[in-house]
Amino acid sequence: QSFKLLGFLDVKSVPCARESVLYGSLGSLVVGLGHFLATSRVRRSCDFAVGGFICTMLGYWFYCRYNLAQQRIRQRMLKEGMRNRILFEGSSLDPERKQTSSERSDS
């Protein structure tokens, strides 16, 4: 069973959504409680808590999605490198073979 936040964000299947909501909740608690302890104003502290939730959730969302995109790029490059390694291994285009043949000619 999936949990949809605001009716459209499926927290279970969307990458980074679950962590963003959890960190947003923690940020909300910290900011709201901190403002309440500093000022003892309940309504204003609730406003700060909502703002803390939104800022923390969006901040972690962008951070997580950026790291996920970097990881996917690295995986794509690694996959391409492995495919090229298998494709060119033992051929005249193999960079390791060129290094070993040049080392043999030097000695």
SS3 7: coil
The reply to whether 106 falls in a domain is no
Residue 31 and residue 49 in contact, taking contact as beta carbons nearer than 8 Å: yes
The reply to whether 101 falls in a domain is no
Indicate the number of domains in the chain. 1
Closest CA to 54 of 20, 79, 77, 13: 20
Q: Which domain holds residue 47?
A: 15-87
pTM of the predicted model over 0.85: no
Tell me the C-alpha distance between 27 and 32, whole Å: 8
Residue 51 and residue 31 in contact, taking contact as beta carbons nearer than 8 Å: yes
| Per-residue pLDDT at 104 | 57
The reply to whether 65 falls in a domain is yes
Residue pLDDT tens, the chain, 107 long: 666 666 666 777 778 888 998 999 999 999 999 999 999 999 999 999 999 999 999 999 999 999 999 999 999 999 988 887 777 777 777 767 656 555 555 55
SS3 67: helix
The reply to whether 105 falls in a domain is no
The reply to whether 56 falls in a domain is yes
